[in-house]
């Protein structure tokens, strides 16, 4: 299941991403409202976790835009504001649930489970594209009927690429995604891990965009 997390507080976001990934969710993280709206139709998340206090446009506006475009994606709103008015605004506009900060991560997981049940969402922990399937809980890669267990870095790298099918991921973005798990990612290690991954993947599954990064083409 893919979750789009829109949260500008990096400390909170880092904790949430860690916890969500542990539950087997694929997480795409955006720190501003405009970029969140841009990636929404591309990422097609199953659920949006939306902070209301964003640096560019108000989270309420992001929610309004999502609902005005008739996107059915469930949205759980997160906010530091505990005024009843913003809570009611969010629910009126079509938020599915509401969590006031600071919240317990276990409570967040419970709310996510409740919303996914209500929407009958597939809580599968697989990211699939063509004959390639990545198990987010087991860290295993299945291509056709061949199963390979990936190490942490290979897994993190492929997860970022498969979460962004059709979008080029820059080397910087990929390095950052690996940094969140481990320290010291040298500049040529991305190439090394890409070449490891390619041994298990169909030809041209990961395309190199010279001087920029990599993409899993649609
Ligand atoms: Ca905020």
**What is the spatial distance between Cα 40 and Cα 4, in angstroms, rounded to a whole number?**
8
Ligand 1 centroid to Cα of residue 80, in Å, is 7
Ion ligand 1: residues, Cβ under 5 Å: 8, 51, 53
Query: Kindly report the CA angle at 3 between 149 and 42, in degrees rounded to 5?
Result: 95
Ligand 1 centroid to Cα of residue 130, in Å, is 37
Q: How far is CA 106 from the centre of its chain?
A: 19
Q: Return the pLDDT at 99.
A: 92
Strand segments, DSSP code E, in the chain are 2-6, 26-30, 47-51, 75-79, 97-100, 126-129, 132-135, 140-143, 146-149, 169-170, 207-209, 213-215
Domain residue limits, the chain: 2-118, 126-215
- Contact between 89 and 60 under an 8 Å Cβ cutoff? The reply is yes
Give the CA count within 13 Å in the CB-facing half-sphere of 161.
Answer: 30
Ligand 1 centroid to Cα of residue 53, in Å, is 4
Ligand 1 centroid to Cα of residue 13, in Å, is 10
Q: Return the pLDDT at 89.
A: 86
Peptide bond into 102 cis (omega under 30): yes
CATH topology of domain 126-215: Arc Repressor Mutant, subunit A (1.10.10)
Task: Render pLDDT for 74-118 as a digit per residue (tens, 0 to 9).
Answer: 999 998 766 677 888 888 889 999 999 889 999 999 999 999 888
Ligand 1 centroid to Cα of residue 193, in Å, is 34
**What is the spatial distance between Cα 148 and Cα 202, in angstroms, rounded to a whole number?**
13
Ligand 1 centroid to Cα of residue 99, in Å, is 13
Q: Return the pLDDT at 12.
A: 94
Q: Return the pLDDT at 126.
A: 83
Ligand 1 centroid to Cα of residue 169, in Å, is 25
Ligand 1 centroid to Cα of residue 141, in Å, is 35
Q: Return the pLDDT at 122.
A: 66
Please tell me what DSSP assigns to residue 58: -
Nearest to 93 by CA among 124, 61, 121, 115: 61
Q: Return the pLDDT at 81.
A: 63
Q: Return the pLDDT at 187.
A: 58
Ligand 1 centroid to Cα of residue 11, in Å, is 11
Mark the ranges of the chain whose per-residue pLDDT is less than 50: none
**What is the spatial distance between Cα 66 and Cα 86, in angstroms, rounded to a whole number?**
17
Ligand 1 centroid to Cα of residue 50, in Å, is 9
- Contact between 30 and 36 under an 8 Å Cβ cutoff? The reply is yes
Superfamily of domain 2-118: Response regulator (3.40.50.2300)
Ligand 1 centroid to Cα of residue 68, in Å, is 23
Nearest to 21 by CA among 9, 33, 32, 29: 29
């Amino acid at each position: 299941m893919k979750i789009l997390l829109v949260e500008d507080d990096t400390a909170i976001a880092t904790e949430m991403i860690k916890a969500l990934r542990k539950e087997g969710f694929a997480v795409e993280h955006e720190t501003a409202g405009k970029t969140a709206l841009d990636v929404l139709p591309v990422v097609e998340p199953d659920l949006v976790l939306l902070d209301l206090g964003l640096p560019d446009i108000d989270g309420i506006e992001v929610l309004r835009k999502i609902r005005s475009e008739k996107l059915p994606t469930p949205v759980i709103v997160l906010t530091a504001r505990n005024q009843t008015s913003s809570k009611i605004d969010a629910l009126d506009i079509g938020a599915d649930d509401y969590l006031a900060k600071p919240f317990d991560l276990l409570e967040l997981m419970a709310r996510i489970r409740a919303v996914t049940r209500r929407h009958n969402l597939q809580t599968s922990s697989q990211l699939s594209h063509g004959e390639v399937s990545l198990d987010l809980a087991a860290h295993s890669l299945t291509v056709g009927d061949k199963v390979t267990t990936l190490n942490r870095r290979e897994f993190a790298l492929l997860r970022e690429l498969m979460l962004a099918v059709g979008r080029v991921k820059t080397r910087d973005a990929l390095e950052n995604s690996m940094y969140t798990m481990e320290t010291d990612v040298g500049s040529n290690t991305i190439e090394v891990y890409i070449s490891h991954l390619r041994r298990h993947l169909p030809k041209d599954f990961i395309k190199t965009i010279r001087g920029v990064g990599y993409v899993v083409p649609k």
